A = this chain, B = another copy of it.
Amino acid sequence: MHGGNIKEAIERYNLKGKRILDFSANINPLGPPDYVRDIILDNIDCIKHYPDPQSKELKTMVAQYLGVGEENVIVGNGSMELIYLITKALFHREGLIPSPTFREYESSLKSFGSTPRYLRIREEDDFQLYSDDIIKNLHRSKLLFLCNPNNPTGRMIGREELKTLINHTEKNGVFVVIDEAFIDFVNDAQDESMVNLAATGKNIFVLRSLTKFFALPGLRIGYGVGNSGLIRRLEGIRGVWSVNTFAQAVGSQVLKDKGFIKKTCEFIKEERRYLFDALSGFNSLKPYLSSVNFLLIKLIQDKVNSKYLTQALGKRGIMIRDCSSFRYLNSRFIRIAIRRREDNLCLINNLREVLDLG
């Protein structure tokens, strides 16, 4: 039900030994940086020791990277651990989830016996979410999950509008979890991020990830930012050693790599424009504007649905994300990650063939 399950695709489409182009997982095509290999080699002998239970070095690097205090940072086994951890700490009876969005907020709430409520993000607005809508629909919910920029829509609520929302939630004792897993891909990410407000605010927890931007999903590295009391509370209710040795070692290094960060942002901006334009050229496709490294696309011809397209491309070794399992989306929607030009061209060519046949 998530993107990026290569092994399953190999079995399903009989692709063993064939080249696979994975547009289903939103991973930076420029990564991981080459030197990650050396960091892993240098740390192999360390696996016979327990990892640092505090992830001190990585925490220091994250704090420097964001310009917040170390006491405002918690590191997790992917941001996934932190989604479940914050839900556990808050233990609210219900939480509001503007949707379509990443599925794990809902799963996390349900796993603790809490009730997820949903706010439909409107297709008529091209899936742009507005603060007013959220405020109007909070009702009794004292917990809000916000994926910003949002997965799978690629849309972002801008800083000023988000501040208005947070002004409201802080006044009304509503806790906001903002998942910024994709914000590093945004132009001027530091200006758009809410990490500074999270470090000083009462009721905000911001989630970030190294998975997507540095292309390290196999290592599991995520982090969160909140006020120091909240961070202490979170550290106090989880098991030790959740962040493995390689995650700590690699995470500490890649965040320093300003060159890679700049190059990625420029590359994604350029390639997003290219891919958006190319996809817009299809009569049968409607791509939505995106702030990040993936595009939501509507299939506007009745005869081709997401399942058909996913399978037709899958057989050709091209994985895309069928979005029919997302709440408030259906079999008219797919999501594709932005990759290198040659791969994007390959996708476009295959789409042309498949859609003509469809």
Contacts and interface: CB of A to CB of B under 8 A. Distances in A.
A219 B36 CA distance: 17
**Integer count of this chain's copies in the complex:** 2
A116 interface: no
B217 A50 contact: yes
A241 interface: yes
A51 B84 CA distance: 19
B27 A239 contact: no
B80 A47 contact: no
B111 A236 contact: yes
Contacts of A127: none
Interface string A106-127: 0110011000000000000000
B107 A239 contact: yes
A81 B239 contact: yes
Contact of A244 (B6, B49, B88, B220): B220
Contacts of A31: 48
Contact of A49 (B22, B46, B50, B53): B22
Contacts of A53: 2, 5
A217 B77 contact: no
A44 B219 CA distance: 10
A19 to B, nearest CB: 14
A329 interface: no
A49 B25 contact: yes
Contacts of A40: 40, 44
Contacts of A112: 88
A8 to B, nearest CB: 8
A148 to B, nearest CB: 20
Contacts of A171: none
Contact of A241 (B107, B217, B241, B246): B217
Interface string A56-92: 1000000000000000000001101101100010000
A53 B9 CA distance: 13
A112 B219 CA distance: 28
Given A47-B219, A51-B218, A77 B77 contact: yes
Contacts of A346: none
Interface string A197-231: 00000000000000000011111100000000000
A300 interface: no
Interface of A: 2, 4-7, 22, 25, 27, 31-32, 36-37, 40-41, 43-44, 46-53, 56, 77-78, 80-81, 83-84, 88, 104, 107-108, 111-112, 215-220, 236-242, 244-247
26 contacts: A2-B50, A2-B240, A4-B50, A6-B50, A31-B48, A32-B48, A40-B40, A40-B44, A46-B218, A47-B216, A47-B218, A48-B215, A48-B218, A49-B218, A50-B218, A51-B218, A51-B220, A77-B77, A78-B239, A80-B240, A81-B242, A84-B239, A88-B112, A104-B240, A108-B239, A218-B245
Given A77-B244, A88-B88, 10 more contacts: A5-B50, A7-B56, A27-B49, A32-B47, A40-B44, A47-B216, A47-B218, A77-B77, A218-B244, A246-B246
